[in-house]
Structure 1
Amino acid sequence: MATARAQRGAAVETAALAHLRGAGLSPLARNVRYKGGELDLVMRDGVTTVFVEVRYRADARFGGGAASVDLRKRRKLVLAAQLFLLAHPELARGPCRFDVVEASGEPPRLNWLRDAFRLEDC
């Protein structure tokens, strides 16, 4: 049985997925797990592969979800993205980016941060 936190996280991911689809992105994968990290959503934006981290905070007063994507987390996301691209070489030839969708409050308000960080930031 899923915890309340896991259920809320899944609901926020589903809301983020719907938001991104509404903006024209196409889903490729969801909740891809590797030993070194996890990818919440992998989307396609035209020819660009987009790795999306979804972060929920009940209250954004102490820093929103994007603030919690620190250097350690960014490195884990990059490693997971590299492993994903190794498994999908047809995508590895094109551009990619890292986005963050932060959500806060009830019901959650979404804030999509395109190109939230770059590989050289890690």
Structure 2
Amino acid sequence: MPRRHHLKHRAVTLFQRRVGNPVLARLPFQTLLETTGRVSGLPRRTPVGGRIIGGAFWLVAEHGERAQYVRNIKADPRVRVRVGGHWHTGTARLLPEDDPRARLRSLPRFNSAAVRAFGTSLLTIRVDLDG
């Protein structure tokens, strides 16, 4: 990874962990992705932007496989997603073959703009929702 991407990743991640995510996770309308911590086994909730399309929840991880929630998904793909205040269970799938920039065009604009601006290694994720 080029040095500027490494520095950008560190700065964005620090801000998100300390400021952005704790505030956003408390908002009732915020979409959340809940994974199981790969080391702790505890639920980990991350604010995300995405959309349900055809029985699946789609999102783009801005730091790809370096994101902690993506590492958790790799260890255990069973997740929950809170959309519009309602929780849904499903199985997450990493889609490196999908074009994440094209995918962002079908997802909520504000979040997509932030992912494009702050992302260093975009990765599409699809959560196949249960029933």
| TM-score of the alignment, normalized to the shorter chain, above 0.5 | no
Relative to the length of structure 2, the TM-score reads 0.30
Relative to the length of structure 1, the TM-score reads 0.32
Higher relative contact order (CA 8 A, sep 6+): 2
Q: Which has the higher strand share?
A: 1
